[in-house]
Amino acid sequence: MFEGPVQRLIDELGRLPGIGQKTAQRLAFHLVTVDDADARRLGQAVLDMRDQVGFCSRCFNVAAAEECAICRDPRRDTSIVCVVERPQDIVVVERTQEFRGRYHVLGGALSPIHGVGPGQLHIDELKQRIPDEGITEIIAATNPTVEGDTTAMYLAREFKPAGVKVTRLASGLPVGGDLDYADELTLGRALVGRSEL
């Protein structure tokens, strides 16, 4: 519809989550008119991120080094690990300032419809971490959805026999949504009031 490179940018922006056709157009035309330096800085930031950021070898959080900043932080309690579906869920839990342990990112939730079973999630890696780090409690902070619930139950059945306490966030979270629908206060309360599965 527009000049080749502009349309290409609109198409790429439009593929981002939460960005529709109209927003993509607005952003693209904004970038056409801003200072050259500003546009280049954005491009460079994307490239740098791709070059320098990978996944933490321990917890699968995003990391600019072999391990993420949280895993490298010596003040973190290594006996308790908060299990989430996606790296962005870590940010949500961190904002509550109620949690001082480490994380583990599963990379999704059980969903046979999408061909996701335990083998497709980072569950074996979590199993490894338990003796290595002396983990005694797993908080299953998967989304309050059918798939998230089921994944939490799976973790309980998998890890309780090994003597690990598996807890789930207390209710009060908006059901059926993502973790990031919850405001900090609600999520903070849910963390404190978690119950054993």
Contact residues: Zn ion, CB under 5 A: 56, 58-59, 61, 68, 71
- CB under 8 A: which stretch of 34-42, 79-87, 93-101, 146-154 binds other proteins? 146-154
Nearest distance from C-beta of residue 153 to other proteins, angstroms: 4
Q: Is 126 exposed, middle or buried (0-12, 13-18, 19+ CB in 10 A)?
A: buried
Rule CB under 8 A: choose which of 8, 30, 95, 157 binds other proteins: 157
Rounded to 5°, the CA angle 50-54-129 comes to 170
Residue 113 binds other proteins (CB under 8 A): yes
Ordered strands of the 165-168 beta sheet: 101-105, 77-84, 137-140, 165-168, 195-196
Given other proteins, Zn ion, none, residue 113, with its beta carbon under 5 to 8 Å by kind, binds other proteins
Extract the runs of DSSP E, i.e. beta strands, from the chain.
Answer: 54-55, 62-63, 77-84, 101-105, 137-140, 165-168, 195-196
Given Zn ion, other proteins, none, residue 31, with its beta carbon under 5 to 8 Å by kind, binds none
Residue 180 binds other proteins (CB under 8 A): no
Q: State the Cα–Cα distance between residues 181 and 178, nearest whole angstrom.
A: 6
Burial code (b: 16+ CB inside 10 Å, e: under 16) for 59-79 equals bbbbbeeebbebbeeeebeee
Residue 43 binds other proteins (CB under 8 A): no
Residue 174 binds other proteins (CB under 8 A): yes
Residue 5 binds other proteins (CB under 8 A): no
User: How many residues of this chain bind other proteins (CB under 8 A)?
Assistant: 19
Q: What residue ranges bind other proteins (CB under 8 A)?
A: 110-113, 115, 117-118, 146-147, 149-151, 153-154, 157-158, 174-176
